[in-house]
């Protein structure tokens, strides 16, 4: 009689293992995520993934020579920026994002770039056939001689191919479709994803190959499959954007080789992704002149200032409780600002519905946008427009004071560059820098003062 292989229940969310089924995961607390998987032989039998045969050993720190950190800069400036200055050889980068957002397109373009600069690239897809990828490449007008396409999901075959082609860069699209032949579980299960990623990690480190892996994102915003995938890799990037808008933001959420504040902005066109080097212009493009309930803020996205329009629609509540929504803005921040406006600036907002939005589909989350939110609400409430060339920067405190913000000089310069003439800033931000001559800088200390000056 064949002995039944032992199984174990694995949480698909965090990777917790239990010998028996549990409804709720004791480790991460999610429900109904335990899936039965075969127990795997311990990894010593399959951990040797060296190509060069080179093995690492413990050395005293003083004996270790620092190899000059070489980064490969692609011609995509926005992409380099998010990676912290360029692609680091031997690094494992995970790119997550919603279905159809453009992950494959981005990586195909990056592959062509890297190949044009003399790198050998292997693009492995478990989702599309080689001819489908070729069709996309033609549409994007990409070609290259050392640019290999490979439609495969079996990791051991992929490993053999890597050994024969010896690429500098490998793209794995996507990790959820890959399977390790020695693991019995289905593709996309925790065990598969974990083993496949571990194998790729070893390949990357031992052979100094930069590997990019695509991961699908679940509704909750996690990379589908285990959270631990994010711990295993060097860098995690999210590619995001709204389905109905053409621009896309590439954001670093983890980076062992750089800052995680940086974002790269792209626009999805017919010919592929194009870099947006002047995002402010894009976000202000459709601003309607003379509309009420609109104001502009210079917000920081990483180290870069970006001008964004904040829109409000305030109208009397017809029935029951006042309705409030905020898209692209933090709802509790908006509620707080409305309470401050009511209490400190005498705006009767409690029986008004309020709908707020950061135009263009961006997400803003920093205190410096408070003042602009407040002015936008006041503008709609009073049915008076702000001047088209006004910009508002400042945090608002609970007593209605306008508080100092960071990077004021960069914000003001960006606004000046785009033709704004009058900029409201916190009074405490006025000293210590010189502002552009042609700009009218108005230092303010309270929200009611700003409203008085802005609507006169
Ligand atoms: N023929 C085309 N012309 C213009 N744009 C196209 C064309 N085909 C696809 N696109 C754009 O490319 C996007 C899909 O990009 P891509 O396949 O790179 O996304 P993805 O994130 O890899 O998706 P998936 O999760 O399905 O793998 C589509 O949403 C569409 O905007
Ligand atoms: Mg894809
Ligand atoms: Zn769990």
Handedness of CA 97, 99, 104, 109 (dihedral sign): negative
- Residue 392 contacts residue 362 (beta carbons within 8 Å): no
Mean per-residue pLDDT, 316-333: 92
Helix, strand, coil % over all residues of the chain, rounded to 5: 30, 25, 45
Whether omega for the bond prior to residue 174 falls within 30 degrees of 0, making it cis, is yes
191 SS3 class: helix
Pocket of ligand 1 contains residue 103 by CB under 6 Å: yes
- Which of 401, 337, 340, 398 is CA-nearest to residue 369? 337
- Residue 415 contacts residue 423 (beta carbons within 8 Å): yes
User: What is the whole-number distance in angstroms between the Cα of residue 270 and the centre of ligand 1?
Assistant: 10
Question: What distance, in Å, lies between the first and last C-alpha atoms of the chain?
Answer: 90
User: What is the whole-number distance in angstroms between the Cα of residue 268 and the centre of ligand 1?
Assistant: 9
- Residue 378 contacts residue 403 (beta carbons within 8 Å): no
Interval 91-149: pLDDT, tens = 999 999 888 899 999 999 999 999 988 899 999 999 999 899 989 999 888 877 788 99
Interval 394-446: pLDDT, tens = 999 999 999 999 999 989 988 988 889 999 999 999 998 888 888 999 999 99
Q: What confidence tier does 44 reach under pLDDT thresholds 50, 70, 90?
A: very low
Q: What pTM did the predictor assign? A: 0.75
Pocket of ligand 1 contains residue 127 by CB under 6 Å: yes
Interval 46-87: pLDDT, tens = 445 444 445 667 888 887 776 666 889 988 888 998 998 899
200 SS3 class: helix
Interval 326-364: pLDDT, tens = 999 999 999 999 999 999 999 999 999 999 999 877 888
Q: Write the residue with the smallest CA distance to atom 6 of ligand 1.
A: 270
Pocket of ligand 1 contains residue 388 by CB under 6 Å: no
If one compares 326 and 244, the residue with the highest pLDDT of the two is: 326
Task: Report CA dihedral (252, 254, 259, 263) to the nearest 10 degrees.
Answer: 10
Q: Cα–Cα distances in Å, from 269 out to 93, 139, 140, 237, 280?
A: 25, 11, 10, 21, 18
CB atoms within 10 A of CB 315: 13
Backbone phi, psi, residue 204, to 5°? -65, -50
Interval 149-207: pLDDT, tens = 999 999 999 999 999 999 999 999 989 899 988 888 888 888 888 889 999 999 999 89
Given ligand 1 and candidates 97, 99, 105, which is best to mutate, with the most ligand atoms within 8 Å of its CB?
105
- Residue 115 contacts residue 147 (beta carbons within 8 Å): yes
391 SS3 class: strand
pLDDT at 417: 84
Q: Cα–Cα distances in Å, from 70 out to 12, 53, 73, 208, 411?
A: 37, 23, 9, 12, 32
Q: Residues 210-233, buried b or exposed e (16+ Cβ, 10 A)? A: bbbbbbbbeeeebbbbbebbbebb
User: What is the whole-number distance in angstroms between the Cα of residue 105 and the centre of ligand 1?
Assistant: 7
**E-strand stretches of 201-358:** 210-216, 235-240, 247-255, 263-269, 272-275, 294-301, 304-316, 324-327, 352-358
Measured from the Cα of 128, ligand 1's closest atom is: 27
Pocket of ligand 1 contains residue 268 by CB under 6 Å: yes
Q: At what angle do helices 447-454 and 370-382 cross, to 10 degrees?
A: 50
Q: Write the residue with the smallest CA distance to atom 10 of ligand 1.
A: 270
User: What is the whole-number distance in angstroms between the Cα of residue 258 and the centre of ligand 3?
Assistant: 29
Give the angle subtended at the CA of 199 by the CAs of 150 and 182, to the nearest 5°: 90
pLDDT at 2: 53
Pocket of ligand 1 contains residue 126 by CB under 6 Å: no
């Amino acid at each position: 009689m064949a002995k039944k292989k032992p199984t174990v229940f694995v949480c698909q969310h965090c990777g917790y293992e239990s010998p028996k089924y549990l409804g709720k995961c004791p480790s991460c607390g999610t429900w109904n995520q335990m899936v039965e998987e075969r127990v795997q032989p311990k990894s010593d039998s399959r951990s040797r993934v060296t190509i060069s045969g080179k093995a690492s050993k413990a050395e005293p720190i003083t004996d270790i020579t620092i190899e000059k950190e070489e980064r490969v800069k692609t011609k995509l400036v926005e992409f380099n920026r998010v990676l912290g200055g360029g692609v680091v050889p031997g690094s494992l980068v995970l790119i997550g994002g919603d279905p159809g957002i453009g992950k494959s397109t981005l990586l195909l373009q990056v592959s062509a770039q890297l190949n044009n600069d003399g790198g050998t690239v292997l693009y492995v897809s478990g989702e599309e056939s080689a001819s489908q990828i070729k069709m996309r490449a033609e549409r994007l007008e990409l070609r290259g001689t050392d640019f290999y396409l490979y439609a495969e999901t079996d990791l051991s075959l992929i490993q053999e191919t890597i050994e024969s082609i010896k690429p500098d860069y490998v793209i794995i699209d996507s990790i959820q479709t890959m399977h390790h032949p020695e693991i019995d579980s289905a593709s996309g299960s925790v065990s598969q994803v974990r083993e496949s990623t571990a194998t790729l990690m070893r390949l990357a480190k031992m052979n100094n190959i930069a590997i990019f892996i695509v991961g699908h994102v679940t509704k909750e915003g996690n990379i589908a499959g285990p959270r631990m995938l994010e711990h295993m890799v060097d860098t995690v990037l999210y590619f995001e954007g709204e389905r109905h808008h053409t621009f896309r933001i590439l954001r670093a959420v983890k980076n062992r080789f750089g800052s995680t504040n940086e974002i790269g902005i792209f626009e999805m066109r017919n010919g592929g992704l194009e870099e947006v080097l002047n995002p402010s212009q894009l976000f202000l493009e459709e601003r309607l002149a003379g509309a009420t309930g609109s104001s502009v803020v210079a917000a920081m996205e990483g180290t870069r200032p970006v001008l964004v329009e904040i829109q409000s629609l305030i109208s009397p509540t017809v029935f029951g409780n006042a309705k409030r929504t905020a898209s692209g803005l933090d709802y509790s921040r908006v509620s707080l600002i409305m309470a401050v406006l009511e209490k400190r600036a005498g705006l009767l907002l409690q029986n008004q519905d309020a709908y707020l939005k950061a135009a263009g589909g961006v997400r803003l989350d920093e205190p410096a946008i408070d003042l602009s939110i407040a002015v936008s609400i006041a503008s709609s409430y009073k049915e008076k427009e702000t001047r088209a060339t006004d910009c508002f920067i400042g945090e608002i405190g609970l007593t209605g004071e306008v508080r100092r913000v960071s990077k004021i000089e960069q914000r003001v310069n960006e606004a000046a560059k785009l033709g704004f003439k009058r900029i409201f800033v916190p009074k405490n931000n006025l000293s210590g820098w010189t502002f552009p001559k042609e700009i009218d800088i108005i230092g303010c200390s309270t929200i009611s003062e700003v409203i008085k000056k802005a609507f006169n």
